[in-house]
Amino acid sequence: MSPLRKQMQDDLVVRGMSPRTLESYTGAVAALAKYYGRSPDRISAAEIQRYLLHLIQEKRLAWSSCNIALSGLKFFYRVTLKRTQAQFELPTPRQPQKLPQILAPEEVVRIIECADNPKHRAILTTTYAAGLRLSEVCQLKVSNIDSVRMTIHVEQGKGAQDRYTPLSPRLLTELRRYWTLHRPKLWLFPGGRHPDIAILPHTVQRIFKRAKARAGITKQCGIHGLRHAFATHLLEAGVDVPTIQHMMGHGHISSTLRYFHLARKHLGQTPSPLDLLPRPAPKPR
């Protein structure tokens, strides 16, 4: 490992960045250095700007991916190299705001039932029952499941925040069935070939996509669709927004309020102005 990469990693750790952010940011700097074929501390701000345009115009990366690269490069040059005046930006995206497609309760059941084996079934059930992010379900430990208090301890979720979410009795039954068969030790869902490490996110995504395909569901969503369904179904069941916000680990209530746009109960109780118009008098026959 080069001294610059080590220094950047240390700077990220000191500022409390997550392992995923550390990997993304250092990867962005490594990709820049590879593109120009020289050490990143010898690359100018103008060259960095041209590289960002290359990512957009030639590689055609999604704006979100380019923005992660931009954030990593800004951190390296402004924090690690202390070039506080370094300037390079991305154009503001003009993207339509699309609401996610929400899985109905019956569709969630079908997906879980179509899982390959008890471990895969337990992963999908846990994701939905607790409303977990992909990274959170991957990083669950056996010790995070408290069957006495009936809670799940989510450690260092988004924003490096811990939280507790309720442990469903049905989920506990599912997890006990899974534990009897697999006996995980540290990680609740360890990797298949490497039980000493947690299952990888792309593996969990693949499990979900395979089960969704087997269930014959064509809605466009990844495993995050189970988290969207969790929040929407709770709202439809009458759970208040602040409670859902806490269970989801949202830093701002605005993130939770968007589920009002998705809740069938909310939409069904909102009248159309057509139904509010006075009915015309019947025409004489």
User: pLDDT tens digits, residue range 212-271?
Assistant: 999 999 999 999 999 999 988 988 888 888 888 888 888 777 777 777 666 655 444 545
Look at residue 42 and tell me whether its pLDDT is greater than 90.
yes
pLDDT of residue 267: 47
Q: What residues are labeled active site? A: 133, 158, 224, 227, 250, 259
- Residue 3 corresponds to which amino acid? P
Residue 276: CB atoms within 10 Å? 7
Please report how many Cα atoms fall inside a 13 Å half-sphere around the Cα of residue 23, on the Cβ side. Answer: 3
pLDDT of residue 235: 85
As annotated, the residues of the chain forming the CATH 1.10.150.130 domain(s) are 3-80
Helix 105-113 and helix 224-236, axial crossing angle in degrees, nearest 10 = 140
Q: Give this prediction's pTM.
A: 0.64
Least confident of 66-80, 140-154, 156-170, 263-277: 263-277
Q: Give the pair of three-digit tokens for residue 183.
A: 């006996």
CA dihedral 113, 196, 135, 226 (to 10 degrees): 10
Please report how many Cα atoms fall inside a 13 Å half-sphere around the Cα of residue 96, on the Cβ side. Answer: 3
Least confident of 128-137, 150-159, 171-180, 258-267: 258-267
**CB 52, CB 35: distance < 8 Å:** no
CA distances from 164 to 249, 250, 254 (A): 9, 13, 20
As annotated, the residues of the chain forming the CATH 1.10.443.10 domain(s) are 105-268
* CATH no. of 105-268: 1.10.443.10
213-227 in b/e form (b: 16+ CB < 10 A) is: eebebeeebebebbb
CA distances from 230 to 42, 53, 104, 126, 233 (A): 48, 39, 10, 11, 5
Q: What angle do CA 93, 225, 217 make, to 5 degrees?
A: 115
**CB 110, CB 128: distance < 8 Å:** no
Mean pLDDT over each residue of the chain, to the nearest integer = 87
String of DSSP letters for 194-253: -TTSBPPHHHHHHHHHHHHHHTT------THHHHHHHHHHHHHTT--HHHHHHHHT-SSH
Q: What is the Cα–Cα distance from 32 to 92, expressed in whole angstroms? A: 21
CATH superfamily label, 3-80: Tyrosine recombinase, N-terminal domain (1.10.150.130)
Beta strands in the chain (DSSP E): 145-146, 151-157, 161-166
User: pLDDT tens digits, residue range 115-124?
Assistant: 989 999 999 9
Nearest to 248 by CA among 152, 119, 111, 104: 152
Nearest to 128 by CA among 220, 205, 233: 233
Q: Give the pair of three-digit tokens for residue 141.
A: 């430990």
